[in-house]
Amino acid sequence: MTARAALFDIDGTLTDTNHLHVTCWWEALRQSGHRVSMHAVHRAVGLPGKDLTAHLLGPAPADGDGEAEGDEEYERIGTAHDVLYATWFDRLTALDGAAGLLRRLAADGWRVVLVTSASGAELGALRRAIDADDAITAWTSADDVEHGKPHPEPVREGLELAGAEPGRAVFVGDTVWDMRAGTRAGVSCVGLLCGGIPRADLLEAGARAVYDGPWDLLAGLDTSPFARTAPG
C-alpha cells in the first residue's frame, strides 16, 4: 500500500494561537520603534520570523559593502517576539476537534506529519496543547529546512518524512502562505478559517476546500479532499 500523508500546519490550524502571535509581533515591533497595524501583522503571520519582519518593514537596508545592516535589528525584533510569546507556553490551547481529527486520520491509515515554522520549546508547547502525539508520525520545523512557507520546501520535507508522493497527500493550513506552499509542492490543500484569513483569500491561494476549523473538517471528512485519496 502506498503511504498517504496528512500534513498539518499548527498555529491557527490546530491551535488557537494566531492572535497571540499578532500581539507579540506588534509589541516587538513597537519596542523597536515601528508602528505597524495589527491587521498588517495578522496577514503576515505564518511566515518565518525574518521573512515576516521583512514583509512588514521591507528588506533590511544594506551598507556600503553590501552587508544588511538592518539584520541585527530584525533579529532583535524576532527575539523580542519569542520572549513575549514564550510567556504563553503554559496556556496555549488546541482548537476544538484538533486531536480528534488527527486520531481519526491516523486510524484511517494516514501518516500525520506536522509542518511548522515553530521549533524547540515552542514546538514542544504546541504539541502538548494538541495532546495527540500518539497520532503523529513526524514533524518538520524551522530547524529542518532552509526556506519557510510559502516556499514548498517545508511541505516537501513533510512528504519525505511520511514517505508519500504529492498526489497521495493533503496539506491543511490557515494562511495564504500555507496554501501557496502546498500548491507549489503539488499537494491538495485544505484551508481553515479559524486562523482569521478570509475564505476567498484561501481559495485564491490554492485551497481545494475551506472549512471553519478542525471540528468542521472532522465532521465533513468523508466528503473532503481526504476522501478523494483512497488507500492504494
Q: What is the pLDDT along the chain (232 residues), one digit of tens a residue?
A: 489 999 999 999 999 999 999 999 999 999 999 999 999 999 999 999 999 999 999 987 665 555 555 688 999 999 999 999 999 999 999 999 999 999 999 999 999 999 999 989 999 999 999 999 999 999 999 889 999 999 999 999 999 999 999 999 999 999 999 999 999 999 999 999 999 999 999 999 999 999 999 999 999 999 999 998 867 6
Assign 145 to helix, strand or coil: coil
Residue 30 is given by DSSP the state H
Task: Tell whether 123 and 10 lie within a shared domain.
Answer: yes
In angstroms, how far is CA 121 from the centroid of its own chain?
16
Q: Give me the pLDDT at residue 1, please.
A: 47
Can you give the CATH number for the domain in which 181 is found? Answer: 3.40.50.1000
- The number of residues in the chain equals 232
Which is nearest to 172 in space by CA: 92, 109, 112? 112
Q: Please state, as a whole number, how many other Cβ atoms lie within 10 Å of the Cβ of residue 203.
A: 16
Residue 69 domain boundaries: 18-87
Q: Please identify, among 87, 108, 125, the residue that sits at the C-terminal boundary of a domain.
A: 87
Q: Which residues contact 123 (CB under 8 A, 6 or more apart)?
A: 10, 116, 139, 141
User: Residue ranges of the alpha helices (H) in the chain?
Assistant: 18-31, 38-44, 49-57, 71-86, 98-107, 120-130, 153-162, 176-184, 199-204, 214-219
Task: Tell whether 12 and 122 lie within a shared domain.
Answer: yes
d(CA 179, CA 158): 15
- Domains in the chain, number: 2
Task: Tell whether 104 and 182 lie within a shared domain.
Answer: yes
| pTM reported for the whole predicted model | 0.94
Task: Tell whether 214 and 150 lie within a shared domain.
Answer: yes
* Strand 110-115 relative to strand 188-192, pairing: unpaired
Task: Tell whether 123 and 181 lie within a shared domain.
Answer: yes
Distances (CA, A) of 134 to 113, 197, 199: 12, 30, 31
Q: Give me the pLDDT at residue 60, please.
A: 73
Q: Give me the pLDDT at residue 136, please.
A: 98
Q: Give me the pLDDT at residue 104, please.
A: 98
